[in-house]
Structure 1
């Protein structure tokens, strides 16, 4: 076996990694101490699964799942989080994103905004407490 040659290592396996910092996509702030607008989201059966909330002053918006809805509510909430991310990428104010969700909601989909559910809360904490109720 003295005539065997060893393969030459490929540069891709031996070169130093060049780590570069990249910018993450823009996101709304995850919290605010100010009043928020919010809407209820429901599943096809009409069960409220969570709340989408927004505040323009702090450029904040988010999704608050109802733990009582279980895994299904959590999974359906991904759509609302994605819609918020898309709106931020388009440069839309948080409450305008909320208005779009209300306008474009379709009860035939797996999750929809409950008609007439747009409300104002004194704080994000109030929405969190609402979501925590059974």
Structure 2
């Protein structure tokens, strides 16, 4: 604010901060590297706008996979309401709720209950979130046609990728066809996608050598990318009953 008031002419000063934090469930606490984003925009000294965005579904009665979660809602919704009240008191006015989206309708104290009218989509997680994560991840690497399939209906084997003590994602391969890839851990934030790009490129290396998907999984685990991309945690791969189950794991915890 002081810097903005010292400038001359028409201008906007903006500050955007990504905020880590914890969301709760009975008996557990989970850290997300991008739980909220705070955007502050200042037009000279005449107008100040503070925007709070959340990247968690812990405040909702139904999660983004359209499943009821009353216990998680009970743990977290009062925390969001208290935070909004504190911000309102600090800034001297009630918040203006944002526009409704496919999951919920914002209010001055949190979100409306989407169960009243039902979810807008039967599978919004699979319809929107998974493709969006995939596009964001693959935008970081050059396009190529020489890749393993991205989806499978078979169970998958996977390794956990960890960097600096934090789980960043999971590199996986199908047990029944030629599908393999990397699932970024959403709660790890931007770093999960940075790491994932390196592991996808390593899978391409395996593909160029003619390795099948499962052989490629073993190969990349033994020959990880640069140290900044993290390391494999397990000595042997874990098993998920489906790619959907692994996406569930990477998207929530």
Question: Would you say same fold, with TM above 0.5?
Answer: yes
What is residue 80 of structure 1 aligned with on the other side? Answer: 199
Judging changes above 3 Å, is the alpha-carbon distance between structure 1 residues 89 and 56 closer, same or farther for their aligned structure 2 residues? farther
Q: CA deviation at 1:48?
A: 0.7
Structure 1 runs, 4 residues or longer, greater than 4 Å off? none
What is residue 95 of structure 2 aligned with on the other side? Answer: none
> Take 1:100 and 1:129, find their aligned partners in 2: how far apart are those partners?
25
Normalising to structure 1: TM-score of the pair?
A: 0.74
Q: CA deviation at 1:55?
A: 1.4
Residue-pair matches, total: 109
Which residue of 31, 41, 59 maps to 2:151?
A: 31
> What SS does the aligned partner of 1:49 have?
strand
Is the contact made by 1:52 and 1:64 (CA closer than 8 Å) also made in structure 2? Answer: yes
Aligned residues: CA RMSD: 1.8
Superposition pairs for residues 1-134 of structure 1, below 5 Å?
Answer: 25-43=145-163, 45-105=164-224, 109-110=227-228, 111-116=230-235, 118-134=237-253
Q: Which runs of 5+ in 2 are unaligned?
A: 1-143
Is the contact made by 2:146 and 2:207 (CA closer than 8 Å) also made in structure 1? Answer: yes
Higher normalized contact order (CA 8 Å, seq sep 6+, divided by chain length): 1
Bigger Rg over Cα: 1
> What SS does the aligned partner of 1:30 have?
coil
> Take 2:252 and 2:181, find their aligned partners in 1: how far apart are those partners?
18
Name the structure with the higher strand share.
2
Deviations 1:24-49 (Å, cap 9, x if unpaired)?
A: 54210100001111111111x12110
> Take 1:61 and 1:84, find their aligned partners in 2: how far apart are those partners?
8
